[in-house]
Structure 1
Amino acid sequence: MSAPLRLVLFDVDGTLVDSQVSIVHAMTASFRAASVAVPDRDAILSIVGLSLPHAMAQLAPDQPTSVQEALVEGYKQAYHAHRLELGAASSPLYPGAREVIETLHAIPEVLLGVATVKSQRGLDALIEVHGLEQYFVTRQVADHHPSKPHPSMVQTALAETGVSEANAAMIGDTSFDMDMAAAAGVTGIGVSWGYHDNSALTAAACVIETFDQLPTTLAKIWT
């Protein structure tokens, strides 16, 4: 009897790639251009994982909607320019990420996907610059879904792949990722190297310390 299909969904920023330099740079540029006080680094990293409108509402709650919308557009422009300037260096893969992606991709019954608040353009550019085009069979982005922790991204990925909730896992670094996984009824696996402290990952089934722990962790969960 063949093994059931499994689905491993990855968050991107803070999980697969360390994009904090670009995020902080773009957020700083956007706030300065709008003549709004720039949030500190910790505040900026705390909203990674939220869609941009939600993030700006949290970072600039006293600003009118028009200013928050300008901050969103300013961020997009600054981030895009920074990515064009630095290429892959703007969002380097975390140690072990590529090796684990390749290892999991080689298992016939395991499908890989992405669930990120990046735009379609941003995700496609990131995947291309790192040469990861062949690995992800489902790519869920902010353009088509409510912000995390709404379960829409995970639910759509399950529907696209035909994998059941019990055979799926969401890998992420923020409480938004783990809460999304819980809301969708899939296992959440937190990572310790991202932008939220481990103490915030309360909805995670477990938290791994290094990427090479992921395959064995998944095997234990699915045994």
Structure 2
Amino acid sequence: MGSVLLANRLFQKGNYKKKSRLVVFDCDGTLVDSAYAIISCMQTACSNLGHLQPKKVDIRRTVGLPLDEAITILLPSIKINQINGVKNEFNKLYAMLKGRNKIHEPLYCGVEETLCSLKKAGWLLGVATGKSSNVLKSTLENQNIDRYFITLQTADLSVGKPDPDMLLKAMRDTGAEKKRTVMIGDTSYDMKMARNAGTSAIGVTWGYHSVEELYDSGAHSVVKTFSQIPLALENLFKK
């Protein structure tokens, strides 16, 4: 059953409390370490089409953005009619790696334990990511954590970060109010999306942007380990 449909049915049946609390996680750099596959596919796609190969550090900084926007940043001189070519080449290479079982996207330490704890505590959980819907579904299923999430928002079906569209849709799916919604992510794009949506935001240190960038972009707090998230949420709602 689709996440939106399931959320709507539960909400209509009264299974969501009027004061539902929602946590929306970024995926790449927050739930899973996907840097290797993204960097490899982006560098190879650019080289295959005759473009200058972007540096690894620059690619890491664009993780979380819609793919076409990331390409524009990484290849500032690229022509508009060339963007789709790089995008299609990236997707082809990614699919090839996946078909060969070469996609290595391990969960960060403490992810599943914390998701389980939050769900038991009554939090509604969601994901908002620059991945496509098919890729996100595959990633969550492969890591056996798809069962924790009630709403999934992806860049191919929404406006990408830092636009608030995905976060606003997650709130509509679940009936959660802005003041009871928290975005958790590793980049300034996640923090800005939360700020643009009017929600709270918690940054994480193990991803792609610095602590300073997270705070400057609107993070209310920053955690160093996944296991610190429940306490950070508790402290956030005490304020």
TM over 0.5: yes
Q: Give the residue type in structure 1 aligned to 2:55.
A: D
Question: Corresponding residue for 2:143?
Answer: 130
Structure 1 residue corresponding to 2:160, chosen from 123, 147, 157: 147
How many residue pairs get aligned? The number is 220
Structure 1: 4+ residue segments shifted above 4 A: none
Q: Give the residue type in structure 2 aligned to 1:158.
A: M
**Retained in 2: the 8 A contact 1:7–1:163?**
yes
Question: Corresponding residue for 2:131?
Answer: 118
**Retained in 2: the 8 A contact 1:82–1:90?**
no
Aligned identity (percent) is 36
Structure 2 residue corresponding to 1:48, chosen from 39, 60, 63: 63
- How far does the alpha carbon of each residue in 1:118-156 deviate from its partner, in whole angstroms, 9 at most, with x for none? 001100100111112211000000111112000000000
**Retained in 2: the 8 A contact 1:60–1:68?**
no
TM-score by length of 2: 0.89
SS in 2 for 1:49: coil
Quick check: 1:79 aligned with 2:86? Answer: no
Range moving further from structure 2, 152-161 or 124-133? 124-133
Q: Give the residue type in structure 1 aligned to 2:121.
A: I
In the alignment, the residues of structure 1 paired with residue 68 and residue 18 of structure 2 have an alpha-carbon distance, to the nearest angstrom, of 41
In the alignment, the residues of structure 2 paired with residue 3 and residue 221 of structure 1 have an alpha-carbon distance, to the nearest angstrom, of 19
Quick check: 1:97 aligned with 2:111? Answer: yes
Question: Corresponding residue for 1:162?
Answer: 175
In the alignment, the residues of structure 1 paired with residue 53 and residue 98 of structure 2 have an alpha-carbon distance, to the nearest angstrom, of 21
In the alignment, the residues of structure 1 paired with residue 205 and residue 180 of structure 2 have an alpha-carbon distance, to the nearest angstrom, of 23
In the alignment, the residues of structure 2 paired with residue 191 and residue 132 of structure 1 have an alpha-carbon distance, to the nearest angstrom, of 19
- Give the Å deviation of 1:84: 3.0
In the alignment, the residues of structure 1 paired with residue 90 and residue 18 of structure 2 have an alpha-carbon distance, to the nearest angstrom, of 44
Q: Give the residue type in structure 2 aligned to 1:204.
A: A
In the alignment, the residues of structure 1 paired with residue 95 and residue 230 of structure 2 have an alpha-carbon distance, to the nearest angstrom, of 33
Question: Corresponding residue for 1:69?
Answer: 84
Quick check: 1:187 aligned with 2:200? Answer: yes
TM-score by length of 1: 0.95
- Give the Å deviation of 1:3: 8.3
Question: Corresponding residue for 2:120?
Answer: 106
SS in 2 for 1:222: helix
- How far does the alpha carbon of each residue in 1:76-132 deviate from its partner, in whole angstroms, 9 at most, with x for none? 111222233336x61100011111111111123x10000001001100100111112
Q: Give the residue type in structure 2 aligned to 1:220.
A: N
SS in 2 for 1:86: coil
- Give the Å deviation of 1:4: 2.5
- How far does the alpha carbon of each residue in 1:63-82 deviate from its partner, in whole angstroms, 9 at most, with x for none? 11122211111111112222
**Retained in 2: the 8 A contact 1:191–1:210?**
yes
**Retained in 2: the 8 A contact 1:178–1:188?**
yes
**Retained in 2: the 8 A contact 1:34–1:67?**
no
- Give the Å deviation of 1:213: 0.4
Structure 2 residue corresponding to 1:4, chosen from 12, 16, 19: 19
